[in-house]
Structure 1
Amino acid sequence: MAIKLPSSAYPTRFLRWVYFSSSCIADISETPEIVKLKDSSEFDQNLNFLRNKLAPDNLIRVLDRTNDLNSAVRIFKWASRQKSFHHTSNTYYRIILKLGMAGKIVEMRDFCENMAKDRCPGTEEALVTLVHTFVEHCRIEEAITVLVNMNLGGYRLPIEAFNALLGALVGGKGREFQKALFVYKEMVKACVLPTVDTLNCLMEALSATNQIDLALDQFRRMKNKGCNPNSKTFEILVKGLIENGRVDEAAIILEQMFKVQCQPDLSFHTCIIPLFCRENKIEEAVKLFKMVKDSDLESDSFIYEVLVRCFCNNLQLDSAVALINEMIDSGMPPKHYVLVDIMNCFCELGKIKEAIVFLENRQVHETAPFNILLEGCCNAGEILAANVLLERISERHIADCQSWNILIRWFCENEDIKKAYTLLGRMIKSFVILDCATYSALVVGNCRLGKYEEAMKLFHQICARCWILDFASYSELVGGLCDIKQSEDAMEVFHYMSMKRCSLHSLAFYKLIKCVCNSGQIKEAIRLWQLAYFCAISCCIATHTAIMQELLRSRRAEDMLAFFSQMLMVGSNLDLEVYCILIQSMSKQNKIKECVLFFNTMINEGLIPDPDQLFDQLSFMANHSQLSMISSAIDRISGGDILNSAMYGLLIAGLLKEGREHEARRLLDSMLEKGWVPDATTHNLLIGSDVREAMSQAMLFDDSASLDSVSNILAEGLGDT
């Protein structure tokens, strides 16, 4: 087999460079790395052969059969030193190709430079062929190295080779924009004019790197460069705009395509129609689809399938059915997932009877569409129709285990376990093997009727088969067992499901933790909570507070901070109850600093306890002379209607004891503004404080200013004393 480049890319004089054995290329690509010679016998034999018959063709034959790269390079350099020998473009081509296919870029660069300097006849053609060969074998760095040396040597690479290299860079997995830009700059340096394919590659690179505005600039300047946009141009721009969330602009570009009467190819339609469908732009998608039908293009099933799904998602049932009929008439029977989409549409519109007729008229034999229809019947309460449909597809051997499970599940969820077991008997008689979904349905049915003993028997059968129940069944079973306070059975189920990494509803898990805590098994509750984290079970705040309340009740307050730290590590939310429990726990342990920290954090987050809890917390702070440490929190809660008369008295007395007279008087002002009178104890404390301040002021100033509102009130209380 020969490697043949496109005939349009090269004139006739290039063709002698095009044909090389593909087996030779394969041999070169497997050439080992340059290493020190261990056995020089092959090298010596080749050298002896060339001493008597040194000619370009003989040198090429020797290079081809020399497996060791180091030997090949030594032979080539030896030939260079012979006075009677001159390298040709063929010999340079061979050594450069050999090194390039082995990934030896540095070594091949030197030979490219020498080749350009020697200016052998046919050098330009050889270098062009090297670029194409490297591109075809995904040796992009090697191709760029040849390109650079061509430009440095004054050789011009044809635009087709530039386009091939740009296409490889843009279409590759890495989409290397910087390298594509470098190649484009080299093309400009070589004074090679771009074609529409060149600009398409550039716009695609810009679009792939989220530089769609620059791509649009290139599009607007295409005419200045003597190029007209083609189908690929519009495909790149429309796709780029849609993927950047600029769907309306994409529609404008599409209108421009219609305006210039550019006929899009099938690749355009296959790419763009699904994108417009994904963005729910049905009008644009349908317009393009009509263009496909009006043209000579043969539309494939993929475009039909995408449009059917789009119509179904928008509940345009008639349009979807019409497309299905077109597919069948065109010899493209719709795949099962297309029928699933249209069945979902029928069911969502409540057209159950029409859906049954649709499947029967088209002699559908796939199971999935019928299962969707069975679910639709059950959801619509059409149980009689579902039973009849199941009977029909069972007789036609279309029904599978899931078909039976759909109806069994419906009966179980609607607390009609008797009919579920009747259906189960028919299922077994039809030689359908039960699966874990069947057991899951039966577990739900028994739980709904409170038959937890029967549900546990089914669960043990599941365990014996190493199967698992579904999410809803586990939640029903665990939650129900906790409701009847069977914590041991509930824990058994949870341990099994956690071992299988199954999840559980957050409410069911809360019930489990609450049940275990109420039975006094706080250690087990914490262990279950830790297991839940590894099973990705979502825990509500009530679950955490249940554990914390039990820690508080069981006099394990010392473990509270350890559990709280674990809550923070897993990112648990904190609410008012959590803070109140923490403060209560810390106060029992006389951990004053922790109480102050939690109280300040709670108030800063806008969480205010009820009056009784708040009074107890403030009392603890006052008794330990810590009111000054929560002064900012006091300011927050004193600004509204949170504090009552007793709390004001407590705070005023406590602040005075801590020597914070200014804050105490400010609180008294606030208290009096609300119409409350301080109790006798607070009153006496304030009187004593004001007498001391008045005497101090009299010694310093003869003509003192009038006292503030608090001082005036206290002076009136003192009278003439």
Structure 2
Amino acid sequence: MIMKLGVNGKIGDMEVLLKHMVKEACPSSEDGFVSLIHGFCINRRLKEALVVLEWMHSSNCKPSVLPHNILLSAFVDEGDFRSVLFVYKEMVKAGIAPTVDTLNLIIDILCRTDRIESALNQFRRMKRKGCNPNCRSVEIIVRALCEKGRIYEGMTILDDMIATGHRPDFIFFENIIPLTCRVNRVDEGLVLLNMMIGNGFSPNASIYSVLISCLCENGRIRDAIKLFEDIMALGIKPDVTIYVSLVTGYCRLPNFSDALRLLSENEVSDTDPYNVLLEGFCRASRFHEACCLLDKMVKSGLSDKFSWNIFLRALCAKGRIRHALEVLDRMIIFSYEPDGMTFSSLVNGYCTVGRYWDAFRFFRQSSGRNCSLDSTSSTRLVDGLREMDCIKEAVEVFWCMLENECPLNISSFNLLIDAVCSMGDVHVAVKLWSFASCRGTVSDADTFAAILLALCKLSKRRETLTLVSQMIEAGLFFEQKICNVLLRCFCEMDMGLNAVIVFNQMVSHGSPPAIGTLNMLLSCLISHCLLHMISDSLVKFISEGGLPNSKLYNMVIAGLCKEGHKEKAFKILDKMLERGWVPDATAHAYMVGNASTIETGVIRGLIDDSCIYDEVSNILVEGLE
């Protein structure tokens, strides 16, 4: 009844029965608790299992470690660290001594939750708790260390285990040998293989396969062949991955004759090793041998569509289009329909020799057959068509890439956007950018700059502001290139207030505009009498670097005076004088024309009006002379 109630989530009713069970002190109640916990764990009702555990601890029976280990194992599988910790604390409070299985589970959950130092601490203290680490303990800690890139530490623990004469079980070898290969420590894997055989275990083909693969990847083909001979001597049938690894190793040397002999002498009837050898010939540009091998594969019934595509792709990569088309004809004769890889190879080949219209023709054929080009060939075609000023065709290819979720690198994407904008099709550029963003293409400053300039030329104010909000969302607003372009756009479209906001933000974030942009900005704001709105930012900007010439200082001073903000103009004058420059006649006329109204303490904290007037006017006169 408790089990049925718990499985249906009726914890309240379940606890009523558990209370009666404890109160009545049912005989063999511990067996009942263990059975319930085990049952709930099997049914993944871990919350209910915890409730049973709590009632078991409240009863008079002395619980054993078994139900706790069952529950710990279930929570470890779930990765629930808090619940593991709770169960372990309940064990400690009940005075139940942990077993090696208990501690292994604790170490396992610590490793799974990135608490590797705590796991190592627990591993080293196992003996203090009366438990010697077993093979499972070593497996857990070594695997965790290797996965964290701490390979040396992991292998040291493994070496210590080997040196102390531990007798691991088959599962240990089956799990750890592939791990040593994964972290490129094949010598430790070979030591474990010999230990495995010495302990009376028979390695299976998968263990040999992973070792042979690792040896071949490290160029140790002789050691790999020795293991292969051991397999044959033991009567184990090598799987296809072993032949693939050996042929790959021979091709890297390159030693094609031994690879052919290996496949021939062992009467290999799988296609994959032959395809690897075919690809090896092609990579070495030994097309005659590749052609002979492909003919042999066809006659033996060992070829597949991938075989033909390997040869065709290699020919296209070298620009040998005529031979590639002959291979395509033979491929079709042998009833193999061209697929995405076929068309990608042909498009890539035509791009290699600069025949982009022919490449585009095959792109159209692939689209008609619902075959997707790969990223490399699509990108080359987009770039080639763009260079030929075939922008509409390049956009067509890019649309197809978007539909097939095929990425275009950011530099090619930006060049395409720029080309579309140059044609005046800014709405197309915005649409392309929008769809590309939805499909994971991350835009940069160049993308937005091209679109902004195009919008500016068309005086698209609303669209410009919309794009600015998207730039802010993308975190690109304060890119210096973006801000410079944006300031120019706002000035050209007479959006002075927006230009003010951008400039003030730029200065506050330490991203000053270029000199040409600053000149345009000042002219725009002066014409709209908005210069006073950036005066504080200008003072900060001048303090941090200064205006590059006296002309800009004069523009600012005259503009501020014209707007009736002489006190702000005197702050700029003060900075100008510090640079050793004096105002021109226009600025001088603005400033001394109403000198009696100058407020006290405007320049450098001078105290009375007469002193201010005398100092300023005299300096200006001296400068003019």
In the superposition, the TM-score normalised over structure 1's length comes to 0.73
Counterpart-to-counterpart distance in 2, 1:510 and 1:353 = 48
Counterpart AA for 1:668: M
Q: Distance in 2 between matches of 1:552 and 1:141?
A: 62
Structure-2 change in CA distance of 1:652 and 1:361 (3 Å): farther
State the one-letter code of the partner of 1:544.
Answer: F
Q: Say if 1:203 and 1:215, in contact at 8 Å, map to a contact too.
A: yes
Pairwise mapping of residues 217-256 of structure 1 onto structure 2 (< 5 A)? 217-256=121-160
1:465 Cα deviation after fit: 2.0
1:541, distance to aligned residue in structure 2 (A): 3.9
Distance 1:609 1:166, change over 3 A: closer
Structure 1 residue 643 displacement after superposition: 0.9
Structure 1 residue 287, shift from structure 2 partner: 3.3
Instruction: Give the count of matched residue pairs.
Output: 618
- Within the candidate set 55, 58, 77, 1:152 is matched to 58
| Residue identity opposite 1:233 in structure 2 | S
- Deviation of residue 292 (structure 1)? 1.8
Q: What does residue 76 of structure 1 align with?
A: none
Written as runs of structure 1 = structure 2, the 5 A alignment for 1:546-695 is 546-570=450-474, 575-603=479-507, 611-630=515-534, 631-633=536-538, 635-636=540-541, 639-640=544-545, 643-657=548-562, 658-659=565-566, 660-672=568-580, 678-683=583-588
Cα shift at 1:267: 1.8
CA separation of 1:677/1:206 partners in 2, compared to 1, >3 Å: closer, same or farther? closer
Give the corresponding residue for 1:399. 303
Please report how far the alpha carbon of residue 414 of structure 1 lies from its aligned counterpart in structure 2 after TM superposition: 3.0
| Structure 2 SS opposite 1:293 | helix
Distance 1:262 1:642, change over 3 A: farther
Write the distance in 1 (CA, Å) between the matches of 2:532 and 2:200.
Answer: 87
Identity across the alignment (%)? 35
Q: CA distance change for structure 1 residues 711 and 148 in 2, over 3 Å: closer, same or farther?
A: same
Letter in 2 for 1:371: N
Pick from 516, 523, 529: which aligns with 2:427?
A: 523
Task: List per-residue Cα deviations over 1:459-481 (Å, max 9, x = no partner).
Answer: 33223322222222322333333
Aligned with residue 296 of structure 1, among 200, 204, 207: 200
Note the C-alpha offset of 1:421: 1.2
Alpha-carbon separation, structure 1, partners of 2:126 and 2:287: 64
Preserved contact between residue 553 and residue 573 of structure 2 (Cα < 8 Å): no
Question: Deviation digits for residues 350-399 of structure 1, max 9, x if unmatched?
Answer: 55555444444444333333334433433333333333333332332222
Checking the alignment, whether the CA contact within 8 Å between 2:309 and 2:341 is kept in structure 1 is: yes
CA-CA distance at 1:155 after TM superposition:
1.7
Distance 1:111 1:328, change over 3 A: same
CA change 1:569–1:296 in 2 (3 A) is: same
- Unpaired stretches in structure 1, ≥5 consecutive residues: 1-94
In 2 relative to 1, CA 113–375 (structure 1 residues): closer, same or farther, beyond 3 Å?
same
Kindly indicate whether residue 367 of structure 2 is the aligned counterpart of residue 467 of structure 1: no
**How much does 1:491 deviate?**
3.6
Give the aligned residue type for 2:170.
L
CA distance in 2, matches of 1:607, 1:287: 60
Q: 1:368 aligns with which of 272, 277, 281?
A: 272
Secondary structure of 2:201's partner?
A: coil
Report which of the two structures shows the higher radius of gyration computed on alpha carbons. Answer: 1
Aligned to 1:7: none
Classify 1:490/1:145 alpha carbon distance in 2 versus 1 (closer, same or farther; 3 Å). closer
Q: Please report how far the alpha carbon of residue 147 of structure 1 lies from its aligned counterpart in structure 2 after TM superposition.
A: 4.8
CA distance in 2, matches of 1:692, 1:115: 98
- Does the CA contact (< 8 Å) of 1:557 and 1:585 recur in 2? no
Judge which range, 265-274 or 115-124, deviates more: 115-124
Q: Give distance in 1, aligned partners of 2:294 and 2:589.
A: 88
What is the RMSD of the two structures over their aligned residues, measured on CA atoms? 4.0
1:137 shift after superposition: 6.0
SS in 1 for 2:168: coil
**Which of 20, 24, 35 is equivalent to 1:114?**
20
Q: Aligned-pair distance for 1:678?
A: 4.8
How far, CA to CA, are the matches of 1:328 and 1:343 in structure 2?
17
Does the 8 Å CA contact 1:446/1:455 hold for their aligned counterparts?
yes
In the alignment, what sits opposite 1:84? none
Tell me the alpha carbon deviations over residues 189-223 of structure 1, each in whole angstroms, 9 at most, x when there is no partner. Answer: 55444433333333334443444444444444443
Whether the aligned pair in 1 keeps the contact of 2:478 and 2:506 (CA below 8 Å) is: no
Matching of residue 275 in structure 1 with residue 179 in structure 2: yes
Contact 2:205 2:239 in 1 (8 A): no
C-alpha spacing 1:138/1:491, structure 2 compared with 1 (3 Å): closer
Q: 2:321 aligns with which of 413, 417, 441?
A: 417
- TM-score normalised to the size of structure 2? 0.83
Q: Which amino acid aligns with 1:367?
A: T
Indicate conservation of the 8 Å contact 1:312/1:320, yes or no: yes
SS of corresponding position for 1:444: helix
Task: Tell me, yes or no, if the aligned pair for 1:648 and 1:671 is still in contact at 8 Å.
Answer: no
Paired AA for residue 60 in structure 2? G
2 CA distance for matches of 1:276 and 1:323?
17
